[in-house]
Amino acid sequence: MKDFILKYVFRINPNTPGQALLKSFNQRFPEATNIEWSKENDNHFEVIFRVNGIEQIAWFEKSGKWLKTETNFKIEMLNTVIREKLEKFGQIMSSIFIEKSDTQPSYEFIIRDHFQVRHIFNTDADGNVTDRRNFDEGELL
């Protein structure tokens, strides 16, 4: 009801980020294009965008505080050492570089083994595996 009143009575779209959030986003990602916003809940927004052709997803608090960014890395963008560590487990299908406001950077990989089974590998920024689970079942291995 609150969203209805804001949107239709006061002509304010509650799903649109405010000025503080837009300013924070533009300062952090000045090169962003193809920007699409969505409201996750009353205090958090998600934004999907591209920088130099690479898709990124970021989460912000309504206040403008940046929380997290996930960057969809192309395999050729990976550091050779990291790539070699993970290719021992199978074919790297996708890689996501994760930056959070409260932790060290990390990666998430989907790797298909020689049995054609997909696994999710989480690593630190150096490619050291911190956990691994079966992609289809979500179970830790």
Domain ranges in the chain? Answer: 2-134
Longest CA span, the chain: 59
Q: Among residues of the chain, what percentage have pLDDT more than 70?
A: 86
Which of the four pLDDT bands, split at 50, 70 and 90, describes residue 41? confident
Domain 2-134, architecture per CATH: Roll (3.10)
CA 65 to centroid of chain Cα atoms = 16
- List the one residue out of 86, 80, 88 whose CA is nearest residue 122: 86
Tokens 């509650």, residue located: 14
For residues 131 and 138, what is the distance between their CA atoms, to the nearest angstrom?
12
**What's the mean pLDDT in 13-21?**
81
**Phi, psi (rounded to 5 degrees) for 50:** -125, 145
Share in percent of the chain as helix, strand, coil (round to 5): 20, 45, 35
| Distant-in-sequence, close-in-space partners of 76: CB < 8 Å, separation ≥ 6 | none
List 118's β-bridge partners, or say none.
112
Q: What pLDDT is recorded for position 10?
A: 46
Higher pLDDT, 12 or 106: 106
Average pLDDT, the chain: 88
Q: What pLDDT is recorded for position 11?
A: 47
Q: What pLDDT is recorded for position 135?
A: 83
Higher pLDDT, 32 or 43: 32
Question: In this structure, are residues 114 and 88 in contact, taking their beta carbons and an 8 Å threshold?
Answer: no
For residues 50 and 33, what is the distance between their CA atoms, to the nearest angstrom?
5
CA 71 to centroid of chain Cα atoms = 6
Question: What DSSP string runs through 90-117?
Answer: SEEEEEEEEEESSS--EEEEEEE-TTS-
Tokens 């979500």, residue located: 138
